[in-house]
Structures are given as C-alpha cells and as structure tokens.
Structure 1
Amino acid sequence: MKFTCITVLFWPFSMLLLSDKSQTSKIEVKCNFTEKDYSLIPVGINNNVTILDLSYNKITLNVTDTRVLQKYFLLTELYLIQNNITILHNSSFSNLSNLEILNICRNSIHVIQQNAFVGLNKLKQLHLCQNKILQLNPDMFMPLNNLKLLNLQGNLISYFDVPQLFHLELIILYGNPWNCTCSLFNLQNWLKTSNVILENENITMCSYPHSLTCYSIKTVPYMAECYSKFASSITEDLYVHFQSISNSTFNSSLNNFTRNSEHEPLGKSWVFLVGVVVTALMTSLLILTAIKCPIWYNFLLSYNHRRLEEHEAETYEDGFPGNSNSLPHIGDINSEDTTVIFEQLHSFVAEDDGFIEDKYIDTHELCEEN
C-alpha cells in the first residue's frame, strides 16, 4: 500500500523530468558558415550542432571532409549548396544517422558511387539539383528507407529507371534532356500507378525524339512494342528476385518440389522428351548397323569353311580312296607302265567344249557314262 502511494506521488514529477529531457534533446544548434571561402569543413564546430550550413564555399567533400563530418552525428540538416563537389564517395555520410535534409545543389557532381548514401536511414529530403549527373543507378537509393522528396532538377539525365523508394511522395525531374523512347516507359508507368507526385509536370518535357518534344514524360504516348518490352522487363525482375533467395530457402523449396513430384504424374513434355531420345537412339543404332553389316557378313561367311571333325574324316576316307596307305606300291613299275597308266587315267577327261566346268557334277557318274 505504501509502495503504491509513493508511485502515485512521484508519477507527475517523473513525467516532468521526461518532458524536460525530450525538450533538451530537440534543441536546435545552428551553425552558419556560408560565404567563408572555406576549402575544407572547419574542425572547431560545436559537436552538438544539428543544422550546419556550409553553402557558397569551395568545399570538395574529400576524405578529410568526410572524417570531419563523422563527428557531427547529431546533424539533422546539412547544406552544401554551390561548392566544388564533383564526386560523392562511398560512406560520405555514414555516421549521420539523424540527418533528415541533405542539400548538395549547384555543384559539379557527375559521379555518385553506389554506397554514397549508406547510413542515412532517417533522411527525408535529398536535393541533387543543378549538377552534372548523367545517369543514376536506382539501387543507390535503397538505404534511404524514409525518403519523401527527391530533387534531380537541372541535371543531364536522359534515362532514369524506377527507384525502390516506397515512402517517396514528391519527385522533381524537370530540366533534364529526357529521351522518351521505350526505355522511359517503366518510369512513366511508375509515375502513373504510384502515389508519387511529379512536381512541375507540365514543364518536365521530352527532349528526344523531336516528334515527342511537345509531350510531358508522364503523358507521352508509347507504341505497342513498348508494352511488350515492359512485360518482358517484369519477367526479368522476377527472375532477379528469385535469384536473390537464400540457399536454404531454395533447397527447402526444391525438396518440397521433388516430394510433390513423386506423387504427381509426368506431364506431356516429359513424354515428348522420352520419345525424342528413343528416336535418336534408334536412328543411331540403324546407322551403325548399316555401316557394320558388310563386315559381319564377311565374318560369317569365313566360318563356312570349317575343319572336318573326326567321324567326318573317316567317312570321307571310306568314300574317296585318297589315303596314301591304300594306294598300291608302284615302286617296281617301269617308266613305260607309268606312261600307260597316266594315259588311261586321263582318257576319262571330257574334251574341252568351251563351257565352264560344273563342279557339282559327280565325277564317278561321268566315268560310268564314258
């Protein structure tokens, strides 16, 4: 009971202390160093500064300036209008997490590195007007999660893809030489479908081609081919999106797909693929057979002349007295008898009548007829 009473008594006092702290945290500390002919950001600035104006100097925002800026982490507004800045390097404002307004207009900026705006999570207004910017990668604006105003007026930009700025409310694009071909169709479609307001729409005109110079970039008519290209770009964006999925998610989805495919029948595409493969294999086999057939044929014919087996040799010897052991011994026969025997043997040979001898006629039958 005592504890509750004490808390009730001290509650208003604690609320007063918190309100005082919040008021002190919102105190603005302004530092104006305009037209001081500074070439570097001065070091002796109050560390509690919240609004810093360094316009109309000769600051280049080099590495030394970047290191000095890291000290002023309480900055909410930074003005660098009309200086000698040509390049915005990576992490130039990485420690300015409380910055809400950044104005770098009227410089000679022609290069903005990819990570130039890293760390500006609370930035609401970005002014890059009247520089020499030729092109911008929309991915460089990804760290600007709370950006509401983007000022690109008076540069040399002819093409600008859709930026991924989900909280953007106002965009300024006039004073650029816009090329209103199909490449700008995505930007026009984004300006029409989103809630972003294009400031000075009536003077944000096309510069090329000449037939479209009287149109605003938001109202210029496009041919049907641009719509088809726009559809193809959407599919490419989806492909890039799926490529950015982590390996674990991809593996799990792949496992689920294989499990489901085990219970589902194959589609007609698989049947067609199998048919094509089988047809290719059969065609290759037929070609190989046609090439190798003569070799196999000759190989088979070579086996028609085989050696006689043992029982076939005996029958051959019985039918044809060609054995040397069965021949009579004629060693005592003189030369005259030999001549007579030779003439008798050759008397059965038929005379040559000009016809080819038929090897299939039995010689024993011919002898009997003679």
Structure 2
Amino acid sequence: MKLHWLVIWAGPLFLNPVTADCNITLQTVTCEESGKNLSNISTDLFQNVTKLSLKNNKITLKDGDKKILQSFFNLTELYLNENMINVLYNNSFCNLTKLVILDISNNYVSTVHKAAFAGLNQLSVLNLSYNMITQLDSDVFSFLKSLAVLNLQYNYLKSFHIKSPFKLVKIVLAGNPWTCSCDLLDLQIWLTASNVTMENEDNTTCTFQNTMEKFSIITADIQADDCKIQKASLKSIVTSTSVSKLESSTLATALTPNTTTGNNRTHAELPLIGKSWTFLAGVLGFVLSTTLLIITAIKCPTWCHYLMSYSHHRLEENDSEMFEQEFSADMSSFPTVLDTNDEEPIVIFEKNQALAPVEDGFSEDKYIDSYVTEES
C-alpha cells in the first residue's frame, strides 16, 4: 500500500508527508528510490525507514551521502547496487548499528578503506560482487562480528589474506584472477580448515605464474615450506633495507647544519648540494672565477715579457759609426799572433760559445748583414 501520509504502527503519531514511495507493514518501513537518476541520497526520506533501496542511480556515497545515512538509525537493509561508487571511505555506515544486509554490487569500487565497515556490528550479508577491487586489507572485515555471507565474486583479486578469527557460513570468490602463489596460501588453509561453504567452487580457480592451466584454489599445490623460505628471505631483505634507510637518514641528519635561535628553537637548514640549483651554480661560479684569477696572476709577468720582446725598431743610418766603434773594440779584445817574418798579423778568432746567441729583445736585420759585408 503506497501512502503519502504514514502512520507508525506503535501509536497514532502522524508524520510529515514524503515524496518517496514507501510501504508500511507490521514491522518494516520500506522506501523504494530505485532508477530515479539520483546523484545524492534524498533528504526527504523517513528517518525510521528500515529497508531502503537506492539501486540503479548515480550515487557516489561521498560526504553528503554519508551524513544523510547516519540519520537512519533503524535501517536493517540497504541496497546501493548499480550506482557510481568508486571508493568506500572510512566510517561510511558508522551509525547503522542495526543494519543486517548491505548490497554494494555492480559499482566501480576499486578501493576499500580499512574502517569502511566500522560500526556494522549486526551486519550478516555483505555483497561486493562485480566491482573493481584489486586488494583488500586483512583488517577490513574485522569490524563485522556477525558476518555470515560474503560475496566477492568478479572483482580483480589475486590474493586475499585471512586474519583469524574469521567466521563465515558462505563465501563467493569465483571470477577473480587468483594466483597460485604464497600470497594465496592463507586463504587456501582457511578454506580447508573452516566449515565455510564456497559457492560456485568449480569456477573458483587460480593459475601459477608460468602456466595458463587452472587449478582449484583449494587443491592447488602451493608448497608451504617454500613459502616459509620465501618469507624468511623477504624479511631479511626488508630488515636490511630498513637498516640502510635508517643509516642514510642518520647520516643526512648529522650532515645537515642547523642553527638554533632563542627559546623558539627555530632551525634554519642550509640547502643540500644537488637539491638547490642556485647554490650549486654559485659554488661553480666561485670556483671558476677563483681559478681564472690565479692563472692570470701567475701568467701575467710572462705575457708582459713576450709582449715587450716583440717591440723593436729599424736601425738608423746615423748609428753606423757607433756600431763600427763597438765592432772595433770587440775585435781588439781578441788575441793576435805575430809571425817571425814580420808579416801582417793574423787575427785568430776563438769560438768561445757554441750555443746560440742570447736574445736581447731585437730581431736580426738584413741591413746589419750588408753593412758588415761592405766593411770587411
């Protein structure tokens, strides 16, 4: 019976009119809001509703929707299937302490936060099938103390770590790309040891890394001993990596200069080399300029000497007499030997030095050569 005015069965208390289609039975209040192209949960719904269907809409279940859901204290069934939910945030259903059935199937859920189902102490059935979930935290279902049926079929799960105690009556895992590896060993052991019923078991298979053959996730030959060795080696690698990171961070902290000012203890850190291009450019410029100045200071006298050695001028004619006098004086310094027959003296030139003449800053001129030839 569809009503626009609702009367609660507990007494003659009348409620405000609503626009939603709600039905009243002896113990339930059902509101049907399906297929109305809603992007948000309506605020005109009765707060005492017990069964709410919001399937086939465009609801994303963000902050606004979470606040509206918190007012439905009596809600026992909630259907959010076929919407546009991408993320299940923490405390999305925290006030729904009486909720028994929650259906979020056929959405686009890829991320489920750790405390997404916090507060659902009475939840018995959870349907997360036909979503895009790639991994689930082992603690994500720890809040669901009364959970009996869990449907995770047709997601993108490759492994699922079970954290004990985890008690279910039925679980649905088919249609996921499970990998027959050590990551699946916990689930395999739990399925074998518990009394849970796995629905659609024939399609619940896994594949080993290098093969395409499918095996049942319950009977797949996953060696527990190999997994123990793998976990031990992985633990040692993680430990060594953590120690290396700790040593690196300690060294970086020790090498980072800090200055403390007053009681506020304000630390001013200098920029690290390699992370500040400005600092690096300044250091490089300083080194280059200093090197250039040092080279200039060392080479300057040599360069000046070279420049002065190239400054010469042509001999003038009035300097010939001076050259003749100097040449005669030089000739007089050589020894002479007198012959016994009183012949002309023979001048003997001694080669005192075999080395090249010392440069006096003047270059050789052909005018001098011709003058000497004529005089001789």
1:290-313 deviation per Cα after TM superposition (whole angstroms, max 9, x unaligned): xxxxxxxxxxxxxxxxxxxxxxxx
Counterpart of 2:102 in structure 1 is: 102
Give the Cα–Cα distance (whole angstroms) in 2 for the partners of residues 90 and 144 of structure 1: 14
Cα 1:84–1:70, aligned 2, differ >3 Å: closer, same or farther?
Answer: same
TM-score (norm 1): 0.54
Deviation at 1:230, TM superposition (A): 9.6
Give the Cα–Cα distance (whole angstroms) in 2 for the partners of residues 53 and 213 of structure 1: 41
8 Å Cα contact 1:102/1:123 also seen in 2: yes
Amino acid at match of 2:162: V
Counterpart of 1:322 in structure 2 is: none
Give the Cα–Cα distance (whole angstroms) in 1 for the partners of residues 203 and 95 of structure 2: 37
1:211 partner SS: coil
Give the Cα–Cα distance (whole angstroms) in 2 for the partners of residues 70 and 126 of structure 1: 19
Give the Cα–Cα distance (whole angstroms) in 2 for the partners of residues 94 and 25 of structure 1: 27
Please list, as runs of the form range in 1=range in 2, the aligned pairs for 1:142-161 lying within 5 A after superposition. Answer: 142-161=142-161
Amino acid at match of 2:116: A
TM-score (norm 2): 0.53
1:10-48 deviation per Cα after TM superposition (whole angstroms, max 9, x unaligned): xxxxxxxxxx89xx9971111111100000000111111
1:112-168 deviation per Cα after TM superposition (whole angstroms, max 9, x unaligned): 111111100000011100111010002011110000011110000101101445431
Say if 2:137 is the partner of 1:137.
Answer: yes
Deviation at 1:66, TM superposition (A): 0.3
Counterpart of 2:7 in structure 1 is: none
Say if 2:78 is the partner of 1:78.
Answer: yes
Counterpart of 2:179 in structure 1 is: 179
Give the Cα–Cα distance (whole angstroms) in 1 for the partners of residues 94 and 83 of structure 2: 20
Cα 1:231–1:111, aligned 2, differ >3 Å: closer, same or farther?
Answer: closer
8 Å Cα contact 2:172/2:198 also seen in 1: yes
1:57 partner SS: coil
Cα 1:232–1:146, aligned 2, differ >3 Å: closer, same or farther?
Answer: farther
Please list, as runs of the form range in 1=range in 2, the aligned pairs for 1:1-370 lying within 5 A after superposition. Answer: 27-211=27-211, 213-223=213-223, 225-226=225-226, 228=228
Cα 1:187–1:96, aligned 2, differ >3 Å: closer, same or farther?
Answer: same
Deviation at 1:77, TM superposition (A): 0.4
Q: Which has the higher mean CA deviation after the structures are superposed, 218-227 or 123-132?
A: 218-227
1:102 partner SS: strand
8 Å Cα contact 1:31/1:49 also seen in 2: yes
Deviation at 1:211, TM superposition (A): 3.3
Q: Which has the higher mean CA deviation after the structures are superposed, 147-156 or 162-171?
A: 162-171
1:208-255 deviation per Cα after TM superposition (whole angstroms, max 9, x unaligned): 43536331101111235346459979xxxxxxxxxxxxxxxxxxxxxx
8 Å Cα contact 2:182/2:222 also seen in 1: yes
8 Å Cα contact 1:141/1:164 also seen in 2: no
Deviation at 1:183, TM superposition (A): 1.8
Deviation at 1:81, TM superposition (A): 0.5
Unaligned 5+ runs, structure 1 = 1-19, 234-370
Amino acid at match of 1:110: S
1:243-302 deviation per Cα after TM superposition (whole angstroms, max 9, x unaligned): xxxxxxxxxxxxxxxxxxxxxxxxxxxxxxxxxxxxxxxxxxxxxxxxxxxxxxxxxxxx
Cα 1:230–1:202, aligned 2, differ >3 Å: closer, same or farther?
Answer: farther
Q: Which runs of 4+ in 1 moved over 2 A?
A: 163-167, 207-214, 222-233
8 Å Cα contact 1:188/1:218 also seen in 2: yes
Identity of aligned residues (%): 42
Cα 1:63–1:224, aligned 2, differ >3 Å: closer, same or farther?
Answer: closer
Give the Cα–Cα distance (whole angstroms) in 1 for the partners of residues 177 and 228 of structure 2: 25
2:117 partner SS: coil
Q: Which has the higher mean CA deviation after the structures are superposed, 93-102 or 189-198?
A: 189-198
Give the Cα–Cα distance (whole angstroms) in 1 for the partners of residues 232 and 145 of structure 2: 28
2:58 partner SS: coil
Cα 1:48–1:177, aligned 2, differ >3 Å: closer, same or farther?
Answer: same
Deviation at 1:95, TM superposition (A): 0.3
Counterpart of 2:4 in structure 1 is: none
Give the Cα–Cα distance (whole angstroms) in 1 for the partners of residues 221 and 83 of structure 2: 40
Amino acid at match of 1:68: I
8 Å Cα contact 1:147/1:165 also seen in 2: no
Give the Cα–Cα distance (whole angstroms) in 2 for the partners of residues 100 and 231 of structure 1: 38
User: Number of matched residues?
Assistant: 214
Give the Cα–Cα distance (whole angstroms) in 1 for the partners of residues 163 and 150 of structure 2: 10
Counterpart of 2:292 in structure 1 is: none
Which has the larger share of helix?
1
Give the Cα–Cα distance (whole angstroms) in 2 for the partners of residues 165 and 32 of structure 1: 37
8 Å Cα contact 1:185/1:226 also seen in 2: no
1:310-351 deviation per Cα after TM superposition (whole angstroms, max 9, x unaligned): xxxxxxxxxxxxxxxxxxxxxxxxxxxxxxxxxxxxxxxxxx
Give the Cα–Cα distance (whole angstroms) in 2 for the partners of residues 207 and 123 of structure 1: 33
Give the Cα–Cα distance (whole angstroms) in 1 for the partners of residues 40 and 209 of structure 2: 43
